Amino acid sequence: MYSMSPCSGPLLSDEESIRKYNDEKQWGLHIAIDLGECDHAKISDGDYIRRFAVDLADHIHMKRYGEPIAVRFGAEPKVEGYSLIQLIETSCIAGHFAEDTDRAFIDVFSCREFPPEDTARYCKEYFGAKTMEYATLFRNI
């Protein structure tokens, strides 16, 4: 089952999220995905992470702007791993991959609609995660 922070409210289906986004004329849609117990080899491979950014952008029908950037760094084991950024014409895909704990933290932000639950499930499967939480945010001012 998928869950999210109790402070964020109930999860909406993809259809409900897209309807809310469009009906309320939100400026942006943002999903924050936390993955646990990921496949260590996958979250430790820069080429795999870069390929993920390309594949995810294709999966959610976003046009990439440039190539993905994935850099491995970290001064201590807790934060050591890859960080990812993929610009898309409507904003970006970002990720942080914690090798010490086999966790991944992925954000997708766009001013064009995309299906949040499907996106979260895609990320979970891509990195072989056993657990997942995600939150959908609507950005507007």
And the tokens for 99? 């090798």
What pLDDT, on a 0 to 100 scale, did the predictor assign at position 20?
A: 87
Mean predicted confidence (pLDDT) in 39-51: 98
Taking the C-alpha atoms of residue 69 and residue 45, their distance in angstroms, rounded to an integer, is 13
Mean predicted confidence (pLDDT) in 112-121: 96
What pLDDT, on a 0 to 100 scale, did the predictor assign at position 9?
A: 60
And the tokens for 73? 């760094």
Domains along the chain with CATH numbers: 27-139 (3.60.90.10)
Q: Residue 123: is its pLDDT beyond 90?
A: yes
Please tell me which residue, 17 or 37, carries the higher pLDDT value: 37
What pLDDT, on a 0 to 100 scale, did the predictor assign at position 140?
A: 86
Q: Could you tell me the pLDDT band of residue 6, with boundaries at 50, 70 and 90?
A: very low
Q: Could you tell me the pLDDT band of residue 58, with boundaries at 50, 70 and 90?
A: very high
Kindly give the interhelix angle for 116-126 and 46-59, rounded to the nearest 10 degrees: 150
**Strand 103-110 to strand 28-36: parallel, antiparallel, or no bridges (unpaired)?**
antiparallel
What pLDDT, on a 0 to 100 scale, did the predictor assign at position 2?
A: 43
Taking the C-alpha atoms of residue 9 and residue 88, their distance in angstroms, rounded to an integer, is 28
